[in-house]
Amino acid sequence: MIEEWQTRAERLADKLAADGDLHYDEWRAAVCAVPRHELVPRYYEQEGPTYRLVTPDDDASRRAWLDLVYSDTTLTTAVVADSFGRQVPVSSSTKPDLMVRMLEALDVHDGHTVLEVGTGTGYNAALLSHRLGADRVFSIDLRPELVDAAADRLATIGYRPVLRAVDGSGGLAEHAPYDRIMATCSVAAIPGAWIEQAVPGGLILVDVEGQLSAGNLVLLRRGDELMAEGRFLDWYGRFMPLRHDATGVGQPWPTVDRSGGDERTTAVNPAELDGEFRFLAQFRLPAGTRHTLTVDDGAPTATCLTHRDGSWCSVDRTGSESGRYRVHHAGSRDLWADVEHAHDEWATMGAPAWHRFGLTATPTTQRVWLDSPDSEHTWNLTI
């Protein structure tokens, strides 16, 4: 049955091409040549709030596993417990459509060197190795066990790129500079080391997300000085956040007392925070704000914002006939008022889509801008 993987890989490449995600013969050849199943021998399937490890152990489960591995699907490959004992994904094999879009956006040419931040299963490193040769590919990840497993599996299929278990924010100085740097994790700001380790004229592709986990992929070109600049892409791609601690998933959020509080209404539909507007709104909210949803029977019923000082708001997702939405809030700051002010600004700018935003980054200062770097509309990133 394993011999059938090539047919499945070709079908996957056909689908990616038909869907408009895959355009170049070099990347099609890589998708067809790399046995993804060798890199994802098992995966986790979500069942409510928990994850179940799926390991194929008979003909039926192996067939289902192969079908899934060679479909356009993200597969969770590692989970850890957070401070509350809940299972949280920390590694995955990214959807192939997003992967090939990113690889094509990098505009890779023969002879280029590429640093990948976020080795994961090694599938992307394998695609790059097929395209460029493994000696041109460098990949880093935080968790040593993931890097070791990826190295072993890559070697099994004939690829031996340089892999290291390090904090991705520091890049990999020992093999710098790089013609291309891509990250399969998200960052709140571009690490200065990445700018320093890119060649002048080189490209950096990464998902930039702020405190509300709102962001998108941005493609930056390194200038002659220590500066990189470019636009957010007009298609969407999101990743797990870059981690600095391999033993956990961050600090616990303080418990907030949501009893009592005040009530009012708002004209801002809380569902608008599900889209591009949230990217702008997060710049107008105080640092230390978190966005969550209240869910009932699988459907969101309220949008919630919580600040570390105890301030909070909950906005009903169902509005009245007059188009108003009920807001419950308490604490030292009315967080939803900040959202309303940001929404006024967003509407004044014409409700901009992703492609109108750009980013200018140096190791010490970074700012998002609208339409052009000298725009009057700019927002500073926290480095």
Q: Give the number of C-alpha atoms closer than 13 A to the C-alpha of residue 109, restricted to the C-beta side.
A: 3
- Does residue 248 carry a pLDDT above 60? no
In this prediction, residue 89 has a pLDDT band, given cuts at 50, 70 and 90, of: confident
* Domain chopping of the chain, boundaries: 2-232, 262-348
* CATH code, 262-348: 3.30.310
Determine the pLDDT at residue 126. 98
pLDDT tens digits for range 259-310? 788 999 999 999 999 888 999 999 999 988 999 898 888 889 999 999 989 9
Residues 212, 215: Cα–Cα separation, whole Å = 9
pLDDT tens digits for range 16-72? 999 999 999 999 999 999 999 999 999 988 887 788 888 888 888 889 999 999 999
- Does residue 250 carry a pLDDT above 60? no
In this prediction, residue 2 has a pLDDT band, given cuts at 50, 70 and 90, of: low
> In terms of pLDDT, which residue wins out, 235 or 183?
183
Residues 140, 152: Cα–Cα separation, whole Å = 15
Please give the structure tokens belonging to residue 155. 């070697």
DSSP labels, 228-248: EEEEE-SS----PBP-S-TT-
Q: Going edge to edge, which strands form the sheet with 87-93?
A: 50-54, 43-47, 75-81, 87-93
Strand-strand pairing, 50-54 and 43-47: antiparallel
Please give the structure tokens belonging to residue 76. 């969770």
pLDDT tens digits for range 93-124? 999 999 999 999 999 999 999 999 999 999 99
Determine the pLDDT at residue 91. 86
CB within 8 A of 184, min separation 6: which ones? Answer: 94, 116, 117, 118, 120, 124, 239
Please give the structure tokens belonging to residue 142. 């935080």
pLDDT tens digits for range 196-209? 999 999 999 999 99
CA-nearest of 121, 207, 182 to 157 is: 121
Residues 314, 259: Cα–Cα separation, whole Å = 11
pLDDT tens digits for range 136-189? 999 999 999 999 999 999 999 999 999 999 999 999 999 999 999 999 999 999
* CATH code, 2-232: 3.40.50.150
Residue 379, burial from CB neighbour count under 10 angstroms (0-12, 13-18, 19+): middle
Determine the pLDDT at residue 247. 58
Query: What single DSSP character describes residue 67?
Result: H
